């Protein structure tokens, strides 16, 4: 599983803790007659950036993006407009544009952990997992108790096939947030690839229990049981999982959510069974290629 909402968490945190007025000491030193137009433009830019962050709360992403772009032009030296712009570009799955904006935010606020976390997520989105690890770790040096960031770090290690480090990061996230089921789920994904099927099943069952039978662990359990020959139980779970969220019938979507080669191969075999083919047909989903 890959969490894709961290950019939103960061944006809402930015909106909630917004402080954009000039420091009192700077105001005292700056005469009102000194470049008032430039000062007003910067303040307008910061106000627009704040508006953009607030619009995210109402899921008005296009309007937020438009304001963020203008804000970076009016207040180019402040980190907030660049942070918001980069986060929105990441949300729109434009990693190149997201990284460019977030690097500007980092250059202006190198001690803002949320900026580094979001930049790391953008690098992950681009497929540069080594750089993702670097940025997320830098953020964790500043803000070590972030289960979401530790989870993202685990995912980056996962993609680099550094499984021990991935599991260690997931476990750190769980130490901070005991019921953080995506971390439990992903430990199961690693264990399955390592051939530890029973351990993986245990993790997925725990994740499903915590998350009220979320689709991903439920489907993973079904696939593992099918490979063990427990077809009746597997098919029942699999049908229920896909009815709850048909996106998981797409192998590419599963791969995006960090399902490994072994699990994907076993899933394709599971979907090719007559019962699951019929389920996919009823859901108007083409079964995956059997190649």
| Per-residue three-class SS string for 169-237 | HHHHHHHHCCCCHHHHHHHHHHHHHCCCHHHHHHHHHHHHHHCCCCHHHHHHHHHHHHHCCCHHHHHHH
Yes or no: say if 121 and 129 are a contact pair by the CB < 8 Å rule: no
Residue 201 lies in a domain: yes
Pair 246, 285: CB distance under 8 Å: yes
- Residues 239, 144: one domain? no
| 66 assigned to some structural domain | yes
Q: Do 7 and 127 share a domain, yes or no? A: yes
Do 248 and 226 belong to one domain? yes
- In terms of Cβ atoms closer than 10 Å to its own Cβ (0-12, 13-18, 19+), residue 260 is middle
Q: Give 246's DSSP letter.
A: G
Considering 162, 178, 194, which residue would you say is the last residue of a domain?
A: 178
Q: Are the beta carbons of 217 and 211 closer than 8 angstroms?
A: yes
Q: Same domain, yes or no, for 2 and 113?
A: yes
pLDDT confidence of residue 289? 62
Residue 254 in domain: yes
Helix or strand or coil: residue 254? helix
Instruction: Please indicate, yes or no, whether residues 150 and 172 belong to a single structural domain of this protein.
Output: yes
* Residue 5 CB coordination number (10 Å): 9
Q: Computed from CA positions of residues 109, 114, 119, 120, in that sequence, does the dihedral angle turn out positive or negative? A: positive
Distance CA 157, CA 162 (A): 5
Q: Is the dihedral of CA 118, 124, 127, 132 positive or negative?
A: positive
Instruction: Establish if 189 belongs to a structural domain.
Output: yes
> Phi/psi of residue 290, each to 5°?
-90, 5
Tell me the DSSP string of 79-107.
Answer: HHHHHHHHHHHHHTT-HHHHHHHHHHHHH
Same structural domain, 10 and 146: yes
Nearest Cα to Cα of residue 221 among 204, 246, 209:
204
- Domain assignment present for 260: yes
Judge whether 158 lies within some domain. yes
CB 185 within 8 A of CB 207: yes
Residue 142 and residue 205 in one domain? no
The count of domains in the chain is 2
Per-residue pLDDT, 284: 77
CATH number of the domain residue 169 falls in: 1.25.40.10
End-of-domain residue from the set 118, 152, 178 = 178
Domain range for 183: 179-291
Specify whether 164 is located in the same domain as 102.
yes
Q: Round to whole Å and give the CA distance between 78 and 179.
A: 37
Q: Are residues 4 and 125 in the same domain?
A: yes
Residue 46 sits in the same domain as residue 166 = yes
Q: What is the pLDDT of residue 225?
A: 99
Statement to judge: residues 60 and 134 lie in one domain: yes
Looking at 178, 197, 222, the residue that finishes a domain is 178
At residue 8, the pLDDT reads: 60
Q: What is the per-residue pLDDT for 93?
A: 94
pLDDT digits (tens, 9 = 90+) for 68-95: 999 999 999 999 999 999 999 999 999 9
145/224 same-domain check: no
The answer as to whether 29 is a domain residue is: no
User: What 3-state class would DSSP assign to 113?
Assistant: helix
**169 C-beta neighbours (distance < 10 Å), count:** 28
Q: Give how far the C-alpha of residue 86 lies from the chain's centroid of Cα atoms, to the nearest Å.
A: 14
Q: Is 30 part of a structural domain of the chain?
A: no
All residue ranges of the chain with pLDDT < 70 are 2-39, 287, 289-291
Dist. CA 70–CA 45, nearest whole Å: 7
Q: Tell me: the pLDDT tens digits for 119-149?
A: 999 999 999 999 999 999 999 999 999 999 9
d(CA 202, CA 240): 19
């Amino acid at each position: 599983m890959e969490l894709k909402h961290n950019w939103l968490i960061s944006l809402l945190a930015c909106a909630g803790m917004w402080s954009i007025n000039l420091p009192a000491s700077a105001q005292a030193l700056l005469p009102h007659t000194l470049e008032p137009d430039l000062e007003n433009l910067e303040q307008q830019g910061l106000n627009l950036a704040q508006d953009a962050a607030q619009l995210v709360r109402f899921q008005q992403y296009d309007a937020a993006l438009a304001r963020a772009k203008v804000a970076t032009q009016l207040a180019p030296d402040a980190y907030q407009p660049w942070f918001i712009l980069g986060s929105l570009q990441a949300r729109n799955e434009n990693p190149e544009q997201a990284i460019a904006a977030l690097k500007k935010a980092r250059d202006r606020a190198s001690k803002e952990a949320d900026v580094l976390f979001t930049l790391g997520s953008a690098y992950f989105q681009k497929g540069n997992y080594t750089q993702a690890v670097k940025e997320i770790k830098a953020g964790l040096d500043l803000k070590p108790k972030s289960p979401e960031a530790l989870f993202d770090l685990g995912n980056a290690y996962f993609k680099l096939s550094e499984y021990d480090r991935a599991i260690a990061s997931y476990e750190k996230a769980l130490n901070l947030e005991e019921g953080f089921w995506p971390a439990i789920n992903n430990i199961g994904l690693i264990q399955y690839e390592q051939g530890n099927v029973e351990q993986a099943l245990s993790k997925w069952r725990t994740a499903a229990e915590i998350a009220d039978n979320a689709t991903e662990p439920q489907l993973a359990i079904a696939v593992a049981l099918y490979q063990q020959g427990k077809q009746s139980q597997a098919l029942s779970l699999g049908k229920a999982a896909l009815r709850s969220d048909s996106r998981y019938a797409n192998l590419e979507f599963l791969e995006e959510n960090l399902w490994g080669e072994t699990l994907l191969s076993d899933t394709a075999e599971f979907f090719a069974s007559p019962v699951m083919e019929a389920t996919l047909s009823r859901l108007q989903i083409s079964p995956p290629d059997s190649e």
